[in-house]
Structure 1
Amino acid sequence: MPDLYPYSAEADPIKNEHDSYNVYVNDNYIGNKILFSQKENIQDVSDYLNNKGFYNFQAEVEGDHYRLQMTELDQGELVIDELHSYLGLH
């Protein structure tokens, strides 16, 4: 039987869907960040937070997860509120 799908999606350099990351703050799921253009990248989330005055966090990409760990835990709720606005969740 012939292979009806000779090309895998992984081999196709053209994206059929937008990249999407699950965003977490202190291990709590906040929402998804969808990258709509090739100019966007997941580090834009950290840049946004820096522009809002938040610097005390560690950011890590793990597969399709973007994890922010706050070094000052009392800022977690403020960061979550900012991310809700940034991700369009409000």
Structure 2
Amino acid sequence: MPEPYPFFNQGEEMKNAHTYNVYVNDDYVGNKILFSQCEKIEDLSDYLNSKGFYNFQAEAEGDHYHLQMTEQDQGEVVKDELHSYLRLN
């Protein structure tokens, strides 16, 4: 059986990692993996704020993180931004 993340060391970091499924306006965007205890899923909202996006509501529900855009026309732009961010992080 192949390793789920072959490019990661399967040490303590992976044992303690937590994954959230991220949604924007109910559309799945990708996964955010939290590798350390100092990381939190709300950091994703902080990232969007740093990129100039403020008009959204965010809610963590189990292993899902939902972002609902107040201005629907920004939804696609935020999805594109998060696709890139989640691939790199």
CA RMSD of aligned residues (A): 1.4
Counterpart residue type for residue 77 of structure 1: E
Looking at structure 1, the residues matched to 30 and 62 of structure 2 have their Cα atoms a distance apart, in angstroms, of: 15
Counterpart residue type for residue 58 of structure 2: A
Counterpart residue type for residue 24 of structure 1: Y
Moved >4 Å (runs of 4+): none
Looking at structure 1, the residues matched to 18 and 27 of structure 2 have their Cα atoms a distance apart, in angstroms, of: 21
Q: Percent identity?
A: 75
CA contact (8 A) 2:30 2:86 kept: yes
TM-score, normalization: structure 1?
A: 0.79
Greater share of helix: 2
CA contact (8 A) 2:19 2:31 kept: yes
Structure 1 residues 44-79: Cα deviation after superposition (integer angstroms, max 9, x where no partner): 100000000000000001000000000000000110
The higher radius of gyration belongs to 1
- Runs of 5+ unmatched residues, structure 1: 1-14
Question: Is 1:63 aligned to residue 62 of structure 2?
Answer: yes
Distance 1:17 1:39, change over 3 A: closer
Instruction: Give the aligned partner of residue 20 of structure 1.
Output: 19
